[in-house]
Amino acid sequence: METLANLELGFSVALTLANIAYCFIGVLLGTLVGVLPGLGPVASVAMLLPITFTLPPDSALIMLAGIYYGAQYGGSTTAILVNIPGESSSVVTAIDGYRMARAGRAGPALGIAAIGSFFAGTISTIAIACFAPVLSDLALEFGPAEYFSLMVFGLIAAVVLARGSLLKAIGMVVLGLLLGLVGTDVNSGTARYALGFPELRDGIGFIALSMALFGIAEVACNLEAGQDRNVTAQRIGRVLPSLNDLRISAPSILRGTTLGAVLGVLPGGGALLASFASYMLEKKVARPPRTFGHGDIRGVAGPESANNAGAQTSFIPMITLGIPSNPTMALMIGAMMIQGIAPGPTVMSERPGLFWGLIASMWVGNLMLLVLNLPLVGLWIRLLKVPYRLLFPAILLFCVIGAYSSSNSVFDIYLMGALAVLGYVFVKLDCEPAPLILGFILGPMMEENLRRALLISRGHAETFVTQPISLGFLIASVALLAVLVVPAIRSTREEALQE
């Protein structure tokens, strides 16, 4: 019953005219940017962050959430129509979706993606409403030692699930933690690693960092590689899937939703892992299996439901614990901080309107996606044809204005330039930037919790293993790392994460 009352409060916030409008704009902008090739959800959210600076906190978060799942859906549209996944989580959608598009069945592919996503979104909204308060209450019991170990576990899980080399991912996390420490140490007032710049006393601007890594560096690499893409799907066909399509897809949607909702909660999980896992599962259970890879609608329905469910439930650790499970959630936490909200379990009790409003708006946003996207497919296709040379200057402009506006100083533009060079080097050396941004957000929090835990225990590090919850997290972290050393599991991971 309490859940219902909470949801009612949520809808009363989400359904104000202003917030419906912001949700709508968010979903629309997110889809628009997500459809454009070469811009994934992380880049979209980073790029569009500045437009939420002047909004009230609940509207800002509602809009950002809208941008996030809009971009997610937009990426799938691109994957189906042009075989260029706008983001890694729609890589598997491209396999069967693009085949369907080439066979003139782009319409049903897009339709089933939208329907599956909406179903998954609805279920995961309910899941969030049921589980978030439980987790929030649990987290309120956490002391600094538990928090510190939880963050260790979160970072290790993120590393294990990152693509590419495990060692490099660990390196990126640690580098991110260190970059997060730049700036004035809250305890002693020492300005650390400020290199004599007064601006760096406030730390490295997180907008500048994320735009540099996910915006500028990406653009530079795209320009270098040269773009060649052609929209092959001329005929979209009926957008509404036939009854038969629905009948075949329904079990896949159900399985995808369940799998996605569970995997989304895991740190480092979220949409990417969910869609891959769902595709592998569908391929295994499909009878007959041979149509997979040749335009099987189940290969679109499952992963698309899974990635949307995962995208939604990845909000759970973010909003209840203040711990990001993927780079987009790191951006959301950054946005909360910009709005003056301290992320963590207290958000639910102190700002129930914001907490439940955001959850309710997710469902509203998913409904909008469904209503909006099917009629607008024609528009998205036209957008796909915008050449990159007209696109990237706009990205560049959004990035510099965003960097400037985050502190109202040109220093952040120079900083972004410097970090973009670093980001470019990372791309060239095959170092995924996602773990770095997670570390960056968690750096100061980890240090603070470590400091407090050691203060309470009078300097005894055993505190992390003598407290059961903390010990549990640490054991889970070690187990995760150990598991990777086992060759069989390692190769499965590589198989699952390869593109």
Tell me which residues touch other proteins (CB under 8 A).
50-51, 53-54, 165, 167-168, 170-171, 174-175, 177-178, 181, 185, 187-188, 190, 192-193, 216, 219-220, 223-224, 226, 387-390, 392-394, 396-397, 400-401, 404-405, 408, 410, 413-414, 416-417, 420-421, 424-425, 428-431, 446-447, 450-451, 454-455, 457-461
Q: Which residues contact 36 (CB under 8 A, 6 or more apart)?
A: 74, 78, 86, 383, 384, 386, 391
Min dist CB 411 to other proteins, Å, is 9
Cα(143)–Cα(452) distance, integer angstroms: 9
Residue of 270, 264, 304 whose CA lies nearest to 78: 304
Q: Which is nearer to other proteins, 138 or 166 (CB)?
A: 166
Cα(349)–Cα(356) distance, integer angstroms: 10
Q: Which is nearer to other proteins, 7 or 445 (CB)?
A: 445
Min dist CB 7 to other proteins, Å, is 31
Min dist CB 34 to other proteins, Å, is 19
Amino acid making up residue 238:
R
Residue of 69, 73, 71, 66 whose CA lies nearest to 22: 66
Cα(259)–Cα(252) distance, integer angstroms: 10
Cα(285)–Cα(252) distance, integer angstroms: 9
Q: Which is nearer to other proteins, 80 or 420 (CB)?
A: 420
Min dist CB 375 to other proteins, Å, is 25
Min dist CB 96 to other proteins, Å, is 30
Q: Which is nearer to other proteins, 250 or 401 (CB)?
A: 401
Tell me the backbone φ, ψ of residue 244, rounded to 5 degrees. Answer: -65, -45
Dihedral sign of CA atoms 319, 320, 321, 324 in order: negative
Residues 446, 451, 456, 462, Cα dihedral to 10°: 70
Q: Where are the alpha helices (DSSP H) in 49-105?
A: 57-82, 91-102
Min dist CB 398 to other proteins, Å, is 8
Q: Which is nearer to other proteins, 94 or 158 (CB)?
A: 158
- Show the 3-state SS of 291-311: HCCCCCCHHHHHHHHHHHHHH
Q: Which is nearer to other proteins, 16 or 409 (CB)?
A: 409
Q: Which is nearer to other proteins, 226 or 468 (CB)?
A: 226
Q: How far apart are the first and last CA of the chain?
A: 45
Cα(258)–Cα(278) distance, integer angstroms: 9
Min dist CB 472 to other proteins, Å, is 23
Min dist CB 217 to other proteins, Å, is 8
CA distances in angstroms from 356 to 14, 40, 319, 348, listed in the order given: 8, 27, 10, 8
Q: Which is nearer to other proteins, 12 or 407 (CB)?
A: 407
The tokens for 38 are 């070469």
Min dist CB 281 to other proteins, Å, is 31
Sort residue 226 into left (φ over 0), alpha (ψ -120 to 50) or beta.
Answer: left
Q: Which is nearer to other proteins, 291 or 409 (CB)?
A: 409
